[in-house]
Amino acid sequence: MSSASTVRTDDSSLSRVDQVLFRLESALNMAGGMVVLMLMLLAVAQIFGRKLFNQPIPGFIDWVEQFMAVFAFVGIAYCQRLGGHIRMDILIGRFRGRSLWMIELANTVVILLLTSALIYGSWLHFRRALDLGDSTIDIALPTWPAKLVVPLALGVLWLRLVVQLFGYWRAFKRSETEPVAVPLIEDAATIAEREVESALSDTDTPGGEPAR
């Protein structure tokens, strides 16, 4: 799902908060992508170093283990904003109007409570690693920075869920058809039509003529 087609914006305070938070989420998502790229380059260096010079990168596994927390969690709020997480659209999509927004509101409350519990547990896990001086086995990298990433990333997700909570509540209260700051459900036909339009636009030249 793309943000342009599934999340509406306007001049309301809620939408402005949504857009500010989305910039933070986008930056974190970009950071996660850069970490993935860095790990790919590190893996290439590891392979060539071992095969050609018999000199692998010291603590390669340790570095990968620590950075996995970054790309696994920093994009979670970004995905939530776009409605990209797995959800039962085939069931929820049958509802319309206030009944739909009430279901979405209840779902968001449940996810918010679960996220709050995960933040608390992951923060305690980070503090325990920091207090005990926990480190990796090979080159003794401290594990607390990677463990700190988890509650921080979940904290951004918590903020996103609060914004969506207000969005769904406002939609329910006002009986809105297309509320702002929340991902809108698209049926299969709409998604297919948009993907076809995107594919056709990619084959066109800047002057509007089909590419040859």
3-class SS of residue 61: helix
- In single-letter form, the type of residue at position 135 comes to S
pLDDT at residue 59 is higher than 50? yes
Q: How far apart are CA 65 and CA 143, in angstroms?
A: 9
What predicted TM-score, i.e. pTM, was given to this entire model?
0.84
Would you list the domain boundaries of the chain?
Answer: 3-193
Q: How far apart are CA 201 and CA 183, in angstroms?
A: 24
147 vs 197 pLDDT, higher one: 147
3-class SS of residue 187: coil
Q: How far apart are CA 209 and CA 212, in angstroms?
A: 9
Rounded to the nearest 10 degrees, what angle do helices 144-174 and 60-73 cross at?
A: 10
pLDDT at residue 63 is higher than 80? yes
The string over 75-111, giving b where at least 16 C-beta atoms fall within 10 Å of a residue's C-beta and e elsewhere, is bbbbbbbbbbeeeeeeeeeeeeeeebbeebbeebeeb
Q: How far apart are CA 21 and CA 204, in angstroms?
A: 34
Determine the pLDDT at residue 3: 37
Determine the pLDDT at residue 178: 87
pLDDT by residue (tens digit) across 88-121?
Answer: 667 777 788 899 999 999 999 999 999 999 999 9
Provide the percentage of residues in the chain whose pLDDT is more than 90: 67
User: How sure is the predictor about 188, in pLDDT bands with cuts at 50, 70 and 90?
Assistant: low
Q: Which of 12-26, 87-101, 198-212 has the least mean pLDDT? A: 198-212
